[in-house]
Structure 1
């Protein structure tokens, strides 16, 4: 990763002061159909931001010549595995890192093939922004719509449609506007809080890092400028305090035998020493004595900080418990309605089957009570006659858990509203779920 220092972004109204520093990290997922130029676009971002070493550039230039390319094939910067390169496909979620003086970036590079829906779900589940590529010559295709739907299903707050290969349509404003209108029309069926459409040529660099003179009719930002300036701190839930206990720290020897701290990651709200809090599922209340990080005590904690919380009273608190506010707590729920993306190729989800369920730091067992419908992600049609979900299919289900989950709706909190299902026989993760209702 580049070692540039980060400059502070503009203040975000209502956000904790320390959160301004956290706003200099953007996680974004890329998606596109095969040959839309996704690898070239990522390569262009890495190349033009000078985040790659000279020997990597030389290696790519040499490989490009060996392939007979008349240009430096920047896609080779991101297509990591030689076997994949030879087949011309990229098949997993690859995480790339780069930085500019303004912000650090983590890219989840997800494959475009329809059989890898699960990879898109994995890559976009923690993303602040989804970048969807379309080929200017082809316009919107089924996969473009599918990727947009998955991004909104996963509550990714910012969506960018990059209309790529504009150089192959002579930078036509008419072509660009047609695609923008088509996508805006489709987006009305989805919940898209923030949509930006940018004409680019990844191959030639137009509107990727800097504005292009070949699109005088476009008055928006370049792609990198937009990625650097999009506000993400205000996307986080700062209202509902949620802290799932991951580990109880209690030294067995030394000077700190009376120390008891609860380690975990803040998934919602802002926590401060002195705050009154409640521990679930016991329901006992106390106050926060202190909040500590690896660098020492802090005055406040907010998502996604990993901290250790000390409480004023000695309560029976263990892994899987939730620290929240007394008058703003999730309802312990054993009956869960959720959208689930099925990820297992060897077995389907069918009603009556039992799985382990992992929700925040709590694990329980769950039975599938009902498959309400299977969703066609291309047409958004609900098939209520389906009896099972196969690999890469998405549907709405009802679960009954053996122990109450301390859950929120996914639209309210992506951490406390998400879960995974695990096959107890093979220990494989077989499904990723987004809670729509808990009771």
Structure 2
């Protein structure tokens, strides 16, 4: 108990208590430096500003001022191997050496012995800053494609053939095999098709997006999709096979560079499509008249139980088709290529199959990739026949660029009404771009014309080289099949590329019948 906490019995006892306390304080006071200079605060000292830059001069501290040494064990343990601030580090000492020897003593007794609490605090603060810098380091990225890199060649492929031959199924299978449709989406289509008892139709739903088309299993409009290979960019045009939608098929064939005639090898189905009135014959003839020069014949459904990848059935279909295609105008040796496949299983579309070892050619997609380049002129006059048009924040037109090149802000002329328009934006297969070349399927947003002033069949041209227009022309016609009599005054529907017009036939002489347009 402290003697001062109890009351003394007498004055003499109080003097004894004070003497005892003095003897206890004597050792503590004897350790003090009585000759030390009195502390005088420097009101003119510069304000302390922490810095995070390296300083090579270690003599910034005033050696004439005595600084009381404080224990800095905890601070030194939390300091990073490399500190900012007034760290004594020579310019010759590399960073990696400083990190490798964090506990090495430096001249002048080390950083912890020559600094007060303020300096130690500045050395501890930069650690979070350094961590943030490390987190913000850019992650290596794949170098983007150079803008001057050449674009892949665009090829438009139209799938034609008799109804239920498997055109949409093959198109959907190609989309899946090339990664344009993921597995989850395909499984969703498969579940929905099973609910409607249409298990084998799910692949066609990748192209038949209309609910009516899915319910009836028949393509009505020309379906559009695209896929890419190592060398080329392909646009799929899925034409309807039903005879009621032949005009739509003609519109799709007029945009194609290559036609794929799909026939069914199943017993009875090939014969139905190839007989008179079947769409196999009509589609092949219409594709040729639309300007398609190359034809690939896919003998589909080779996995059917009635076929079993039979070489005999394959050769039978081939022998019946070749004479007719030759009559239409295709060269069997140069323009036609036959190959077996199965659209439902994907056999021989991307990878060869062991089921038909007798077929030694390339599968369908590799064969497309190996085709020679099409002769197109990017320096020629601009020719873009209009396929469709609609309003979307302005006037938008769709079409395939046949020749020339188009860029944003370019001035063009809409023929035949000679409207001068400006290209506000253009999309190639739904991808926005600044310029486009021949063969690309484009959407153009135009300025200077209203949507009501455009009809399918109009043509965009450059002002320096306009296309010709007329109301009367001479034509040589070939009548394949017709039930009624054709005579002067006969009214018909004329398809010229994407243009559809009602015409009347007049005869100037018996040798040269003349088509005379009425509404154009």
TM-score bucket (shorter structure): 0.5 to 0.7
1:330, CA displacement in angstroms? 7.8
Is 1:211 aligned with 2:352? Answer: yes
Which of 313, 325, 328 pairs up with 1:190? Answer: 328
Aligned match of 1:112:
241
Aligned match of 2:165:
36
Higher helix share: 2
Aligned length: 305
1:167, CA displacement in angstroms? 1.0
Give the whole-Å Cα distance in 1 for the aligned partners of 2:203 and 2:471: 50
Mapped contact 1:19–1:302 kept (Cα < 8 A): no
CA deviation string 1:242-281 (max 9, x = no partner): 66899xxxxxxxxxxxxxxxxx99754799xxxxxxxx99
Aligned match of 2:63:
none
Give the whole-Å Cα distance in 2 for the aligned partners of 1:54 and 1:184: 38
Mapped contact 2:494–2:501 kept (Cα < 8 A): no
| Cα RMSD (Å) | 4.7
Give the whole-Å Cα distance in 1 for the aligned partners of 2:223 and 2:385: 30
Give the whole-Å Cα distance in 2 for the aligned partners of 1:189 and 1:19: 43
Which of 309, 314, 318 pairs up with 1:180? Answer: 318
Aligned match of 2:182:
53
Aligned match of 2:486:
384
Which of 301, 308, 311 pairs up with 1:170? Answer: 308
Which of 496, 501, 506 pairs up with 1:421? Answer: 501
Relative distance call for 1:192 and 1:238 in structure 2 (3 A) is: farther
Relative distance call for 1:160 and 1:64 in structure 2 (3 A) is: same
Please report the TM-score for the alignment, with normalisation by the length of structure 1. Answer: 0.56
Aligned match of 2:366:
225
Q: SS at the partner of 2:171?
A: helix
CA deviation string 1:182-211 (max 9, x = no partner): 111001112225111111111122211111
1:109, CA displacement in angstroms? 1.0
Give the whole-Å Cα distance in 2 for the aligned partners of 1:303 and 1:107: 13
1:222, CA displacement in angstroms? 0.9
Relative distance call for 1:124 and 1:436 in structure 2 (3 A) is: farther
Q: SS at the partner of 1:104?
A: strand
Which of 192, 204, 226 pairs up with 1:97? Answer: 226
Please report the TM-score for the alignment, with normalisation by the length of structure 2. Answer: 0.48
User: Any unmatched runs of 5+ in structure 1?
Assistant: 8-17, 247-263, 272-279, 282-292, 308-318, 340-371, 397-409, 424-434
Aligned match of 1:315:
none
Q: SS at the partner of 2:327?
A: coil
Structure number with greater Rg is: 2
Summarize the alignment of residues 15-414 of structure 1 with structure 2, pairs less than 5 Å apart: 21-23=151-153, 25-67=154-196, 73-137=202-266, 138=268, 139=270, 141=274, 142-168=278-304, 169-192=307-330, 194-234=335-375, 236=376, 267-268=402-403, 335-338=472-475, 375-376=480-481, 384-385=486-487, 388-389=490-491
Give the whole-Å Cα distance in 2 for the aligned partners of 1:297 and 1:148: 37
Give the whole-Å Cα distance in 2 for the aligned partners of 1:330 and 1:67: 50
Relative distance call for 1:90 and 1:69 in structure 2 (3 A) is: closer
Mapped contact 2:301–2:343 kept (Cα < 8 A): yes
